[in-house]
Amino acid sequence: MTAAPRADGDPFAVLGLPGTFALAAAALRAALLRESLLWHPDRFPLADAAQRRAAELRMAEVNRAHAALADPLGRAEALLARAGAPMPRGTDHVSCPGVLLSMMELKEEIAEARAAGDGERVATAARRLAEEERRSLTDLAAAFSAWESAGAPADKTRELHARLAEATYLRRTSEDLTRTAVA
């Protein structure tokens, strides 16, 4: 087996897919199946250890790329990285004070409702949070669509960063709440 073309970690390139936010689920699944049939180590049962190892690494890369692109936030990150404007790591703070405030309010509301044992109130607040999360994803999709139509200019990514930070923050908040609810 000759060395696989290095894709430099860009999940779109690893899966041979066009770099767009509006990636169809069917296209992503088809790409995963195609690459898996090419690279899964089980396709090389009689190859020597080194070749199987290479296949295994490449397959791990395919799996990573698929997991990234299956998630809208992962797609957003990958597109920004391609454009040369990656999200700085560990900076998921939200710059929009309005969102931050309404989230803090929502968290307090949920904590209070839980303390009061009011399941109805907890559920209402959780629904609001889920609604916010959905809204942030719609906004993110719209922002990317506009940006891609404009030719994906590398110097016009400020809004994308802000939208992605917001969506990431909302997801984390809702994950945290689910976890504390379970615990």
Give me the half-sphere count of Cα atoms (radius 13 Å) on the Cβ side of residue 41. Answer: 14
* The total number of residues written for the chain in this structure: 183
CA dihedral (146, 151, 154, 155) positive or negative: negative
Ramachandran region of residue 113, left (φ > 0), alpha (ψ -120 to 50) or beta? Answer: alpha
Q: Is 31 in the site for another protein (CB under 8 A)?
A: no
The smaller minimum CB distance to another protein, of residues 24 and 116, is found at: 24
CA dihedral (138, 64, 81, 35) positive or negative: negative
Q: Is 2 in the site for another protein (CB under 8 A)?
A: yes
Q: Per-residue contact track with another protein, 42 to 81, x per CB under 8 A?
A: xxxxxx---x----xx-xxx-xx-xx--------------
Q: Per-residue contact track with another protein, 124 to 163, x per CB under 8 A?
A: ----------------------------------------
Chain residues that interact with another protein, rule: CB under 8 A: 1-2, 4, 29, 32-33, 36-38, 40-47, 51, 56-57, 59-61, 63-64, 66-67, 179, 183
